[in-house]
Amino acid sequence: MVDAPSSGGGAARCAGSNPVPGTWQHKRLSFMFYTYILYSAKCDRYYIGYCADVQARLIRHNNGMVTATRLWLLKHIKKNVT
């Protein structure tokens, strides 16, 4: 309750929307992504990258849709949350 001026000169009580301190919690947005390691036996090279969808990314690597196009094998994957 908060005090509000009344028309009669005295203070009247009315309901307000004052939140209780410490009850509001900040909700943090998070994003999940994967770090991956690919290996090309043809070139004997490793490639490290990150993305949200590893399977789709591997298809793009192997089908000539990115600069680093070779026959890549997925060697390692790690899920990360920010």
Give Cβ neighbours of residue 2 (< 8 Å, ≥ 6 apart).
13, 14, 15, 16, 18
Residue 63 in domain: yes
Residue 10 in domain: no
Residue 78 domain boundaries: 30-82
Please, are residues 76 and 37 in contact by the beta-carbon 8 Å criterion? yes
* Total number of domains constituting the chain: 1
Give Cβ neighbours of residue 25 (< 8 Å, ≥ 6 apart).
none
Residue 23 in domain: no
Please, are residues 72 and 65 in contact by the beta-carbon 8 Å criterion? no
Residue 75 in domain: yes
Report pLDDT digits (tens) over 39-66: 999 889 999 999 999 999 999 989 988 8
pTM of the predicted model, to two decimals? 0.60
Report pLDDT digits (tens) over 69-80: 789 999 999 999
Residue 13 in domain: no
